[in-house]
Chains A and B, each alone.
Chain A
Amino acid sequence: MNPMDRDPLEELTEGLARMDVRPDQNRRDRTMALAREKFDVAFQENAAEERPIPDPPRTGAGRASLTGAVISMTRKMKKSLLYGTSGLVMAGLATVVTVQLGDEVMNVPQNHAKHESLAEVDGARAPQPSIGGDINPVPQNKPPISRDFESGPSFGAVGQKTAPASRSANEGALLMAPVQDRPTNVQGQNRDRFPDAEQNPVNSVAQSPISTFSIDVDTASYSTTRRWLNQGRVPEASTVRVEEMINYFDYDWPAPEAGGAPFRASVANYETPWNAGTEIVRIGLQGMMPDIDARPPLDLVFLIDTSGSMRSPDKLGLLKQSFLMMLGELRPEDRVSIVTYAGSAGTTLELTPASDRATIRNALENLSAGGSTAGAAGLREAYGKFDGDDDRVGRVILATDGDFNVGMSGPDAMTDFIADQRETGAYLSVLGFGQGNYNDTLMQALAQNGNGQAAYIDTLSEARKVLVDQLTGNLFTIAEDVKIQVEFNPAVISEYRLIGYETRALAREDFSNDKVDAGEIGAGHQVTALYEVTPVGSDAARMAPVRYDNFSSERRAMNLEMAGELGFLRLRYKAPGEDESRLIEAPISKEQEAMTDDDRFALAIAGFGQHLRGGKYLEDWGMDAAVDLARDGRGEDPFGYRSEALQLMQTYEALSR
């Protein structure tokens, strides 16, 4: 038809009216169910928001009870192994890890003595000379030079707690909305639903000299940001958590001494790239790496979704590659079994020693996809593989795109079943593959109930990060409920701003309250926190100085005495399984240092993250400058994570132009 013949609007309108607009029924049902779950969570949160007293940052009672359960469980088994991949990401699929805990206790150095001499003072303190060097936080007589200090004493029984796992799975879940009836405090804490945390403001040291927060080892925000940017979209500012982006990367902060404390804190300060009038204070915690050679043998059951929807290179294809890669990291005495589920569940490979690589490889490569998803049957089959050998550590790793048919009994019965298995020491983790997961909710629930973690695998390099690099590193929690408190010296610093950690803020009094939960450090992990501080007298100050203070003259003289200190760092943590926290304290010298590559890179990512959040405090410092800084700080980058970040930053720069 000649378009000139008719009114083109009429023609288009008719065409639109004739389009098939009947929705796909399955999709409709799924969306409705998902919306229902999301709504239930949002509803409760909405109610919670209206409560006058804010809950402590997403940790709270529910989490405590989880911890309690876990501790009692771990007492039963003396040692728990948590194969975490703490960077575990979020949204997607899930690997179910079942761990059977053995009885043997890892031979971990104990070191109580050192710490006992540390006065656990939490408030006022007599002036102390700045401590320096590698401080095992005892003495007080070194000059303020370097500022490393090791945390205290006992390393305790290894890794009792699964909290880090459940936590990162939990909080990292992007789209996760809890299955109904789950204890909401534990699992309902999807950050995506806490998007409202405003960027931390600039604080006046005169008014509130003390800053308190919990560490955060999650990294989900980075993966999420990556997914968005790779799709050509800019993530919503409120969903970006700068500290998680920073902590996605490994940094080479000074390691704790062998046989010593579980982690070491080092502090450095240097010029702020985006503001000549301020300085950055970088706090880097480095967890110790226990002797992984001593780990017990593993029994891994790969529970693989081979339903029709998995037939895609970024699902089954990537999954096979990922598991093959992981195979290379196992030891001869480890064993692997493969259970698949589609229309029905079946065992593809009985427990086979990892040394028999050809057989395992063959079984993996022959997997093909087709049929529906009898997930529940698959889980039962997978748990059935463990033979109850106490000397071995078992876990089920469920790999799926999220389509998981829980059977007649429904999700509650399923999660209960998994929780029961956990009590016997069998853990479950979940790996997500592919996009468009309609059931992350369930996957998250499975992983959390199974004491495992949910990770989202979108690329082979993410698979490497999750499955290989961290397989050995995340076995153990080495310090729990780690809290950081910094007190700034008003004689030296006028203003400060904590970059990121908005959702981890703690009230000042929570620092010494051991009932208030905080983040965990896993073996070999780093946690990095950055403050932007404004020295007294700097033009960059955003607030006019106060005219009065309420210091006594005695106090003022004391402040002068401590003029070499920019602030004072306090850390609290619990050795795994202990109820009482330990305190580490050390002054922060105001001497500036040169940046290392790691510092540069961390700052570049901090800049990137702040840009994503609106760039309020970045002055004229643009993404181009952030990219340059990241390039300078890229260093060796053996796995290419930093190069990938550079590309993402460039993508963002182009998108936001």
Chain B
Amino acid sequence: MTEHMDITSLLEAHYDTIFAFSVRALGCRHEAEDLTQDVCLRLAERLPAFRGDAKISTWLYRIVVNAAQDRLRVRTRQARLAEEWREAHLAKADEADAARAARGWIADTLAVLDPAERTTLALVVTGGFSQSEAAEILGVAPGTVSWRMSEIRKRLHVVAQQTGEVA
């Protein structure tokens, strides 16, 4: 267990995966850099108290996933705020619009998913986890992962159809 207790080797092993996951969950490299740093510092802070009651990668990615979900929720809240206070926050709303335009179709598509769905999808695409470990990281029952994936598929179909109709 001692080898787990060192942050440098832990991050050496997982940094790239954390970053890849972050890019996919957030749909944006720039924000992913920030998220990755936040998460690494959080890990550094908590690692000494890690008691080995879970597999270290499960423990680690659970923190990663939660941080990503938090960030996505904050984003939603900010968007809502920007709407509510459109006038007071005109500049911010404009920024948000511009950022959205620049992000491209992946980010746009991701935007229809909720934080739990986005992190699930990012985890699946990034790969390297068994179904049961992924479930444990996400804090759900094993069956929920596939169920979520099918929900995502349905949702995307609906959106695609609407878009198709509009087009």
**When each residue 90-123 of chain B gets 1 if its CB lies under 8 Å from chain A and 0 otherwise, what string results?**
0000000000000001100110000000000110
| Of A6-14, A342-350, A395-403, the one with at least 4 CB within 8 A of chain B | A6-14
A75 to B43, CA, bound (A): 45
Query: How near does chain B come to A175, taking the closest CB pair, in angstroms?
Result: 8
Shortest Cβ distance from B158 into chain A, in angstroms? 9
| Known contacts A9-B149, A13-B121, A21-B24; A4/B161 CB under 8 A | yes
* Shortest distance from the beta carbon of A326 to any chain B beta carbon, whole Å: 29
Cβ A31 vs Cβ B36 within 8 A: yes
Main secondary structure of the interface of A (DSSP, over half): helix
B7 near A36: Cβ-Cβ < 8 Å:
yes
Cβ B44 vs Cβ A39 within 8 A: yes
B contact patch SS:
helix
Q: Is B144 close to A, CB under 8 A?
A: no
What is the bound-complex CA distance between A379 and B64, given in angstroms? 39
A21 touches B19 (CB 8 A): yes
A2 touches which of B8, B23, B164 (Cβ 8 Å): B164
Residue-wise, chain B 1-25 has the 8 Å CB interface mask toward A (1 for contact) of 0000011100110011001100110
A42 at the interface (CB under 8 A from B): yes
Could you say which residues of chain A place their CB within 8 Å of the CB of B77? 232, 655
Contact with B along A38-49 (1 / 0, CB 8 A): 110011011100
Q: How many A-B residue pairs have CB under 8 A?
A: 122
Q: State A37–B47 Cα separation when bound (angstroms).
A: 13
Cross-chain contact B81 with A39 (CB below 8 angstroms): no
Q: Does B49 lie at the interface of the complex (its beta carbon under 8 Å from any beta carbon of A)?
A: yes
The answer to whether B159 touches A8 (Cβ under 8 A) is yes
B86 sits at the interface (CB 8 A): no
Count of chain A residues near B, Cβ 8 A: 40
Look across to chain B and name the residue whose beta carbon is closest to the beta carbon of A30: B37
Residues of A contacting B141 in the complex (Cβ-Cβ under 8 angstroms): none
- Of the candidates A16, A34, A175, the one having the most CB atoms from chain B within 10 angstroms of its own CB is A16
In the complex, chain B residues whose CB is within 8 Å of the CB of A175: 41
Whether A32 touches B40, Cβ cut-off 8 Å, given contacts A3-B160, A4-B160, is yes
A652 to chain B, nearest CB (A): 11
Are the CB atoms of B161 and A35 closer together than 8 Å?
no
Query: Are B125 and A17 in touch, CB under 8 angstroms?
Result: yes
Give the contacts of B23-72 with A (CB-CB under 8 A): 23-24, 29, 33-34, 36-37, 40-41, 43-49
Contact of B40 among A21, A24, A35, A655 (CB under 8 A): A35
Known: A35-B7, A36-B8. A8 touches B160 (CB 8 A): yes
Interface residue tally of chain B, by bracket? 35 or more
Partner of B109, one of A12, A22, A232: A12
Give the distance in Å from the alpha carbon of A179 to the alpha carbon of B8 in the complex: 16
Answer yes or no: A554 CB below 8 A from chain B CBs. Answer: no
- Residue A125 is within 8 A (CB to CB) of chain B in the complex: no
Are A31 and B48 CB-contacts (below 8 A) given A8-B160, A19-B23, A23-B15? no
Cα distance, A38 to B48, chains bound together (Å): 10
- Are B163 and A21 touching (Cβ within 8 A)? no
Tell me whether A9 and B152 are in contact in the complex, defined as CB-CB below 8 angstroms, given that A15-B105, A31-B40, A43-B48 are known contacts. Answer: yes
- The contact of B45 among A32, A38, A47, by CB within 8 Å, is A38
- In this assembly, does A233 line the interface, its C-beta being within 8 Å of a C-beta of chain B? yes
Q: Which residues of B contact A39 (CB under 8 A)?
A: 6-8, 44-45, 47-48
**Alpha-carbon separation in the docked complex, A24 to B16 (Å):** 10
Q: A45 → chain B, closest Cβ, in Å?
A: 8
Most chain B beta-carbon neighbours within 10 Å: one of A7, A232, A233 = A232
Q: Specify which of B44, B49, B153 lies most central, judged by the most chain A CB atoms within 10 Å of its CB.
A: B44
Interface residues of A in 417-470 (CB under 8 A from B): 436
Counting from the closest, the 6 A-B pairs by CB-CB distance are: A21-B20, A46-B48, A8-B156, A39-B7, A39-B44, A35-B44
Instruction: Give me the interface of A with B, judged by CB distance under 8 Å.
Output: 2-4, 7-9, 12-13, 15-17, 19-24, 27-28, 30-32, 34-39, 42-43, 45-47, 175, 193, 232-233, 436, 654-655
14 additional A-B residue pairs with CB within 8 Å, beyond A4-B161, A12-B109: A3-B164, A9-B149, A9-B152, A12-B110, A23-B19, A24-B33, A27-B33, A31-B11, A32-B8, A42-B49, A45-B48, A46-B49, A232-B74, A232-B78
Chain A to chain B contacts (Cβ below 8 Å), 18 pairs: A3-B160, A3-B163, A4-B160, A9-B149, A12-B109, A15-B105, A16-B122, A23-B33, A28-B15, A31-B11, A32-B8, A32-B11, A34-B37, A34-B40, A35-B11, A39-B7, A45-B48, A654-B85
